[in-house]
Amino acid sequence: MGLMKKLTLAIFVSFAMLAVAPSAMAKKAGKIENKSPAATAEAIDEAIVLVEETLKAIQDDAEKDVVMKLFKSTKQKAKTIESAVTYRIREKALGQLGRARREYKKGEMEKSEVEAITAKAVVVFKDLKDKYHNFKGD
């Protein structure tokens, strides 16, 4: 009987250690820290450059896969803009960019209309930059 109690206790402690160890050793989920203001400003500038390259590629009749890659890289770079001040404007710019991408991919809309939508996205990204750099707070 004493051996049975010791064996049960040893098994219980082993299972308890196995259950606790992974959660105790795991890293925190999610992002560790926010970007610095300089990194955010750099991400905004890079997003503007990419959206302008996308517009130029559309205007120059570049190959479809090249333009689609530019749309994707612009979207990915824009998602790295981390600022509560510009979140709403960023989402508006991404909406314009997404609409232009969808219409370009479908091919149902005239090229000039897709250019116009992409040009609106360029304007919105530039507004985002102005808003970020000129924010005064409450």
Q: Provide the domain count of the chain.
A: 1
How many Cβ atoms from other residues are within 10 Å of residue 77's Cβ? 18
Q: Has residue 20 been placed in a domain? A: no
Q: Has residue 4 been placed in a domain? A: no
How many Cβ atoms from other residues are within 10 Å of residue 109's Cβ? 15
Tens digit of each residue's pLDDT (9 = 90 or more) over 72-130: 999 999 988 888 888 899 999 999 999 999 998 888 788 889 999 999 999 999 999 99
Single-letter amino acid code for the residue at 26: A
Q: Has residue 7 been placed in a domain? A: no
Q: Has residue 109 been placed in a domain? A: yes
Q: Has residue 41 been placed in a domain? A: yes
Single-letter amino acid code for the residue at 114: V
Q: Has residue 66 been placed in a domain? A: yes
Single-letter amino acid code for the residue at 88: R
pTM of the model: 0.71
Q: How many helices (H) and strands (E) does the chain have?
A: 5, 0
**pLDDT at residue number 26:** 57
Residue 91 belongs to domain with CATH number:
1.20.120
Domain with 122, as residue range(s), is 36-133
Spatial distance between the Cα atoms of 99 and 130, rounded to a whole number of angstroms: 23
